[in-house]
Amino acid sequence: MNIQELIDELHEALDATPVDLARAALVVAKVEYPRLDPRPTMAALDALGERAAHRLEPLAGTSIATRITALGRFLYSDEGFAGNREYYDDFRNSLLNVVVRRRTGIPITLALVYKEVARRAGLDVYGVSFPGHFLLRVAPDAGHDGALILDPFNAAQPLDEFDCAELLRKQIGKSAKFRPELLQPCTSRQFVARILHNLKRTYVEQRSFPQARAVTELLLAVEPTVGVELRDRGLLAYHLDDFPAALQDLESYLRLNVWDARDRKERERIVEHINALRHRVAGFN
């Protein structure tokens, strides 16, 4: 697996006009499937979009809520998409090619399928990087207030602010405070970064460190200013016995991060790692 080739492919998808979000997600899937051909998954999304457009055609001129309800019924009832409750932490739930084939996934990948099919059917749907549970947002009809908020993990059921506040408390804790700005649309890069964060977490939990390191490389390509990814890439390199790379990343993280008193313990741990790595690297010379 050539990580630079993946980075270049990911940039190409994200820099396209309009952004090719599905293609970007399929680049991410190449971390697990290096020889993945994106064309079958893209063709499957095109076919779903064509069938959805045909289903919505008689509803032209009706409210956006009516068409969105019909689209949800098409995807979840007719096509069989569903949240993977039994195996939520399966890393394959973050891989678009597998989600489209198996018809099951986690909130963000189901949101991506919904968004891509909706676009092909003539509807604009936006991702919402809600804490702990990705959501969807649909602009209201002209002259109406309030966007529609949908839960892609639960058959695109609409949520009001009370529902969102309850969901936030469930995900973050009872003390979590809901704010309407949590429901603002995210950018395409934020969308892809969220997929990468989910995939990285599951790879680390499974101790699949080579894949986790590759995902971290992609995260740094998408979010180059997020210093914690530099730290994590260094720690993953350490686990993989790539001590020079680990030392370089951890020294950069120590130098570039803005530290305060609350970070004392983490800073001490990083310094300990750096000192140990310096001894190891010196032994190679």
Task: Note whether 13 and 43 are same-domain residues.
Answer: yes
Which has more pLDDT, 256 or 282? 256
Total count of domains within the chain: 2
Task: Note whether 131 and 233 are same-domain residues.
Answer: no
- Residue 46 is assigned to a structural domain of this protein: yes
Q: Residue 155: which CATH number? A: 3.10.620
- Residue 202 is assigned to a structural domain of this protein: no
**How many CB atoms are closer than 10 A to CB 44?**
14
- Residue 201 is assigned to a structural domain of this protein: no
- Residue 23 is assigned to a structural domain of this protein: yes
pLDDT of amino acid 258 = 87
Task: Note whether 164 and 192 are same-domain residues.
Answer: no
**Predicted confidence (pLDDT) per residue in 221-275, tens digit:** 999 888 899 999 999 999 999 999 999 999 999 999 889 889 899 999 999 999 9
pLDDT of amino acid 225 = 82
- Is residue 145 pLDDT above 80, yes or no? no
Task: Note whether 172 and 192 are same-domain residues.
Answer: no
pLDDT of amino acid 265 = 93
Task: Note whether 28 and 89 are same-domain residues.
Answer: yes
**Predicted confidence (pLDDT) per residue in 110-143, tens digit:** 999 999 999 999 999 999 999 999 999 999 876 6
Task: Note whether 148 and 217 are same-domain residues.
Answer: no
Say how far apart CA 229 and CA 218 lie, in whole Å: 10
Name the pLDDT band for 51 (thresholds 50, 70, 90).
very high
Task: Note whether 52 and 119 are same-domain residues.
Answer: yes
- Residue 92 is assigned to a structural domain of this protein: yes
Q: Residue 219: which CATH number? A: 1.25.40.10
Task: Note whether 151 and 219 are same-domain residues.
Answer: no
Task: Note whether 176 and 221 are same-domain residues.
Answer: no
Task: Note whether 102 and 162 are same-domain residues.
Answer: yes
Mean pLDDT (the chain, rounded): 94
- Residue 236 is assigned to a structural domain of this protein: yes
Task: Note whether 61 and 149 are same-domain residues.
Answer: yes
- Residue 138 is assigned to a structural domain of this protein: yes
E strand or H helix at 186: none
**Predicted confidence (pLDDT) per residue in 57-79, tens digit:** 999 999 999 999 999 999 999 99
Task: Note whether 80 and 144 are same-domain residues.
Answer: yes
Say how far apart CA 139 and CA 114 lie, in whole Å: 15
- Is residue 284 pLDDT above 70, yes or no? no
What tokens does 31 get?
């971390």
- Is residue 283 pLDDT above 80, yes or no? no
Give residue 256's domain range: 188-196+207-282
